[in-house]
A and B are shown apart, each in its own frame.
Chain A
Amino acid sequence: MDKKYGVYICTGCGIGDALDIERLSKLPQKEYNVEICKTHGFCCGPEGVDLIKKDIEGEGVNAIIVAGCSPRVNQDVFDFGSDKIVERVNLREQVVWCHDLAPVEAGEDAEASEAESALKEGVNLHTQFIAEDYLRMGIVKAQKSELPEPYLLETVSKKILVMGGGISGLTAAIEAANTGYEVTLVEKESSLGGYAAKLRKQIPMSNPFTDLQAPIIQEKIKAVESHPKIEIKTNTVVARIAGEPGDFTVTLKAPGETIEFDVPQLVTQTHDEEGKELTKEQTDELYNELNKGRADILTFDPNGEKFGAVILATGWKPYDASEFENLGFGKYQNVITNVMMEELAANGRITRPSDGKEAKSVVFIQNPNGDDDSDFPFASSVTSLVALKQAKYVREDSSDAKAYVIYQHMRTPGLYENFYKSMQQDDGIFLTKGKVSSITEEGDGSLAVEVDDNLLGEKIRINVDMAVLATGMVPTTKDDAIVNLAYRQGPGFRDIGQFDGYADSNFICFPYETQRTGIYAAGCVRQTLTMADCVEDATGAALKAIQCVESVNRGVAVHPRSGDLTYPDFFFQRCTQCKRCTEECPFGALDDDEKGTPKPNPARCRRCGTCMGACPERIINFADYSIDMIGSMIKAIEGPTEDDYDPVPLRVIVLVGENDAYPAIDMAGMNRLKYSPYVRFIPVRCLGSVNTVWIKDALSSGLDGILLLGCQFGDDYQCHFVKGSELCDRRMENVAETLKSLALEPERVELKQVSITDYDKIPEIINKFVEAIDEVGPNPFKGF
């Protein structure tokens, strides 16, 4: 695009008082040959906006640099249409509101004071310097920015694949189809319904939440079977999903079948038998061996079906109860699990497995061992509710039957409390907190159960026909990828172990975000949920799948940079096939070929720029965010030289994550917290996008230190791009090594994790770093 620049400096909100605006407004012309530079006392007001609009119309200005308040405010005011580039220079929150406004006293720094005398009276020299540097960076940024063009697929499939035909899968299919989308539903069993079809009754799903209700699954099955937009494939599993959202190529197969398009597996072995780390060649060899007969991930199945997005609703499987021999499971026939109980109940009257005798008294055990008050592994509120439900079955079958529920904590949250209360009304259901200390079988096959620490105060002994263990529901993704993505990073969700095998999101506020774009988990594979909650969850997943295909269709990114038109562009001629981008991408967006050349899948990409930060050849860039752009902004910082000062004031750059650290710095400004005037902030999409060449650029242009402020990492990471700050931290370790080899102090580069709420700590973090750099001394490359 041919750019015509216009710089607009706002003098409102104290900016005009704290800065020598006249001097500042000469800078664009003097240093960058930008002719149009205007000042206004109230840029965001109607007149100020008109001033800019007039230049857009009259002068053809299309690259607008507004120097005033933070880009976090007034974004709508300075929106001049998608064919204009707008850069905001943050003179308010990050300059005049957070720096000393008083001029330097002559006694304290004679030279600075003298230099300052050239400025408008009352203006602090350092504050002026910061503003000038930010204006330079803003202009350079606009110079290096291009208008993005969307990444559009040649053909977009909007069809949605639903994996799993249980309550969640059926709901997702119906909801997506009812919104107008074609759906294919695959189910590995020969019939639909999953566990929801194996119930006698259901926990209440609606107000007043007091009574058991008839299962709803048959209605759902009917709705799916009769829906013109839903195709059902039973006895079918997914062999592989290749490609990207909007253009997935999916190979389906019968369960247990071995085919060419079975998804390649990753080599999990890292060391040989002698404990030596495997070489790359050995790993490759193992990979080839493991995946013999399977087509590579880049070979697309010519007979594959096209889909736009996937809903993973493969549910759960019962926890293997064999470890609970202490409670008699496996030893006594009449000790069973809740799943076995449901099967008995669904088949008719509940009878003892040992002799078929009617079960007149049943104990439901919620807690597996007396030392601890935890429920069974993978238990949840569902297991509590199911125990209550099954207690009711016992009572339904026989009016003189007794049910005992022994729990540590009755988990019936929210409105399910109504159900709990309603069960408490039944005088044949005995509920008590307690620990089962032993179960023994009597001669007649009945069980003697001893309960300690209960609400009655003394040890009780009950004799029952059966005992039911409230064992948990294990997500199907626990030990099997299931979703079988033909991605170089492997077939499953990465880091799923962090969620104990659930295909869950790490984010409290964004429950559908996984590391695989276009794949949305719903129901018990994501979290253990009641059926009512599965229905809601599946509806949400259907929305996300629809939103994803519509976003791909428009060529824009999905969460968290939703609507972003940019995407990483690769200059392949210079690629050295180092594979770092493929390996580091948090979203597995890249698949490399056998030579190691990455194949980008822009519709999988979330635009964090981690690939850009990883690339040692610096060949990955975005239209409005590039290696050259940030590098040039760094170089635009005017380091004072010895000709002007002795000693030369320090210059430190701070690369700032834009979602959390940047707002924290803004808030420090809003609270008028002061900090060292020697720092310059440069926002980055994510610390993961920080390329080490910027560190080099900074040091070779004589800057004294580089501070990186990014999101918290570790298990409870707050990085919206999952791994960005952590990867950056690792890169910085290597940088430290390089610095040492150049006889530079590793202390010059530091990464700090900050939260958005840490604004009160910002001055301390910055000042401490500046002090540390001061101790290390000026960059020896200064002036070279």
Chain B
Amino acid sequence: MADEKGMTSGSILVVGGGISGLTTALEAAEVGYEVYLVEKNPYLGGRVAQLNKYFPKLCPPSCGLEINFKRIKNNRKIKFYTLCEVEKISGSPGNYDVAVKQNPRYVNANCTACNDCVDACPVERESEFDLGMSKTKAIYRPHEMSFPMKYVIDDSVCKKDECAKCVDACSYNAIDLSMGPKTFDLKVGSVVIATGWKPYDATKLDKLGFGQLKNVITNMMMERLAAPNGPTKGKIARPSGGGISSVAFAQCAGSRDENHLPYCSYICCMASLKQATYIREQYPDAKIYIFYIDIRSPGDRYEKFYKKVKEDKNIFFIKGKVAEIEEGSTGVIIIAENALTGEKMRQEVDMAVLATGMMPTGAETKISGDITYNEDGFIIADLEKGGIFAAGCAKKPADVMASAQNATGTALKAIQTLVRR
């Protein structure tokens, strides 16, 4: 703080350890404030950890995450807790009591990440990190770059004491099957909610065949398929097997739709353009059809990327929303009306990617406390009152650049609450 005031006391709680929460926490801590970061997953990084590349640079998200994790390791001002959910926030700006529930990891700090437990574990489960496209054991490392580098047990499938093979396999006494949930309280001056989003449930788009037709996938699944640490080691393949000669992208799958998400999800146009480059890189002859309402690639940087993708003569843009996806003779048939020509189209492709949008975590789970949500579940922050703020996609649909930018500003608002006290 400015000289005459001296550093003020009080700390900041950041809820959510994705790119927004990490950014808020780190930016505040690097000014000199104490920060608690709580995350519900067993690892930090959130949604971006699942992505293969960022648009428009096509760089790997783990590069920036590595830097952020290094910043956490180097900064004694940040304390982070994984597997935690905030149950209740009470109090007023400058003086909050936060009840946090920590779910059991069943693996303690002794874990060296040697992997012996995984070899011993007989139970398999679907990996939610790979959106069900791969399996892990009941005891697992969430992903290659998980931070913290500690294993975790999925207690919905683990047979616990009945089996306990992992306990025997562990040389470090790191597995404790008796762990249970515990709660603890944090006293903080301000709170930033950065609980992010989840992909809109594509099974709700009943005409688009997801869950019924094997070769209809979502854009997040495409990220995992293209990722080197994904279920196919980065080789994009059809779920039904075999290579790819054509792919269709259905934009606004759920977004800009009164029956689903009325707003625009901000990232899906750029994400599909990016994913088109993934496919084209692996399949030099593949044809790509992008069905859109508007291509939202605003601003100099995104427009440039769109232009570059347009130059690829194997990528076709069709203005028209996909009405239906049907089983085809070898793949799937996209049914859409070309809005410019009025032509009814039936385009058979090997695979369809639904550009599903983002649903804020607040649409399903609301934190108990003085927090206002809009009807879609985005948090409306009252900057004048202060105290509790929202950052990133908990507040509005945003891409990574915009999330990091507004998370940085939110860190300052959180600090101001402490200063004013």
Contacts and interface: CB of A to CB of B under 8 A. Distances in A.
Interface of A: 12-14, 41-42, 44-45, 69, 72-73, 75-76, 158, 175, 178-182, 206-208, 229, 373-375, 378-381, 384, 407, 409-418, 421, 433, 453-455, 457, 499-500, 502, 504, 506-512, 527-528, 533, 536-540, 542-544, 546-547, 550-551, 554, 558-560, 562-563, 659-660, 663, 667, 670-671, 711-712, 716, 718, 720, 755-760
Interface in B353-371: none
A207 B401 contact: no
Closest 6 pairs (CB-CB, A-B): A539-B409, A509-B64, A540-B408, A540-B409, A381-B298, A543-B412
A229 to B, nearest CB: 8
B30 interface: yes
A346 to B, nearest CB: 25
11 contacts: A12-B112, A41-B171, A415-B264, A510-B64, A540-B407, A563-B71, A660-B63, A663-B62, A718-B57, A718-B59, A755-B59
A14 B75 CA distance: 31
Contact of A659 (B19, B66, B264, B419): B66
B46 interface: no
A45 B145 CA distance: 22
B378 A415 contact: yes
A182 B172 CA distance: 54
Nearest to B5: A180
A12 B173 CA distance: 12
B374 interface: yes
A755 B114 contact: no
B290 interface: no
B263 A381 contact: no
Nearest to B234: A760
Interface stretch (B120-128, B130-138, B300-308): B300-308
B84 to A, nearest CB: 18
Interface stretch (B90-98, B214-222, B225-233): B225-233
Given A413-B266, A508-B64, A547 B31 contact: yes
Interface in B164-218: 171-172
A127 B404 CA distance: 43
Interface in B36-91: 52, 54, 57-68, 70-71, 73-75
Question: Which of A45, A378, A756, A758 has the most CB atoms of chain B within a 10 A radius of its CB?
Answer: A756
A562 B30 contact: yes
B373 to A, nearest CB: 10
B27 A547 contact: yes
Contacts of A667: 144-145
Contacts of A181: 1-2
B286 interface: no
Given A410-B294, A536-B409, A756 B263 contact: no
Contacts of A550: 31-32
B412 A73 contact: no
A509 B399 CA distance: 10
B62 to A, nearest CB: 5
Contacts of A72: 149
Contact of A12 (B1, B172, B416): B172
Contact of B30 (A433, A453, A547): A547
A417 B228 contact: no
Given A417-B264, A543-B27, A667-B144, 15 more contacts: A12-B114, A44-B110, A179-B2, A180-B1, A180-B5, A412-B264, A414-B265, A418-B263, A455-B339, A504-B301, A508-B54, A539-B409, A543-B412, A547-B27, A757-B52
A539 B67 CA distance: 23
Given A536-B409, A563-B75, A411 B144 contact: no
B31 A509 contact: no
B31 A757 contact: no
A509 B227 CA distance: 19
Contacts of B23: 509
B300 A528 contact: yes
A222 B5 CA distance: 25
B299 A527 contact: yes
A374 B306 CA distance: 9
A718 B398 CA distance: 22
A374 to B, nearest CB: 6
Q: Interface SS of chain A: helix, strand, loop or mixed?
A: loop
Question: Which of A181, A208, A511, A660 has the most CB atoms of chain B within a 10 A radius of its CB?
Answer: A511
A671 B115 CA distance: 10
B412 A560 contact: no
Nearest to A667: B144
Nearest to A41: B171
Contacts of B228: 757-760
B280 interface: no
A567 to B, nearest CB: 16
A510 B400 CA distance: 9
B300 A500 contact: yes
B71 A543 contact: no
Contacts of B339: 433, 455
Contact of B60 (A175, A229, A559, A755): A755
Nearest to A208: B374
B405 A418 contact: no
B300 A384 contact: no
Interface in B268-325: 294-301, 303, 307, 319
B309 to A, nearest CB: 12
B396 A414 contact: yes
Contacts of A178: 416, 419-420
A540 B402 contact: no
B11 to A, nearest CB: 16
B243 interface: no
A141 B67 CA distance: 23
B338 to A, nearest CB: 10
Contacts of A536: 405-406, 409
A179 B1 contact: yes
A418 B113 CA distance: 48
Question: Which of B31, B408, B411 has the most CB atoms of chain A within a 10 A radius of its CB?
Answer: B408
Given A45-B172, A158-B2, A659-B66, A540 B406 contact: yes
B413 interface: yes
A528 B112 contact: no
Given A380-B298, A412-B264, A546-B31, A757 B404 contact: no
Question: Which of A41, A528, A562, A660 has the most CB atoms of chain B within a 10 A radius of its CB?
Answer: A562
Contact of B2 (A41, A76, A182, A527): A182
A670 B340 contact: no
Contacts of A180: 1-2, 5, 419
B128 to A, nearest CB: 20
B5 to A, nearest CB: 5
Contacts of A554: 32
Given A413-B397, A417-B264, A533 B402 contact: yes
A780 to B, nearest CB: 39
Interface in B1-45: 1-3, 5, 19, 23, 26-28, 30-32
Contacts of A457: 340-342
A508 B68 CA distance: 13
Contacts of B397: 413-415
B345 interface: no
A562 B114 contact: no
Contacts of B409: 175, 536-540, 542-543
Given A433-B339, A562-B71, A73 B303 contact: no
B408 A543 contact: yes
Contacts of A760: 228, 233-234
Contacts of A718: 57, 59, 63
A454 B409 CA distance: 42
A544 B5 CA distance: 19
A611 to B, nearest CB: 21
B264 A416 contact: yes
Given A380-B299, A540-B405, A756 B62 contact: yes
B63 A13 contact: no
A702 to B, nearest CB: 34
B52 to A, nearest CB: 8
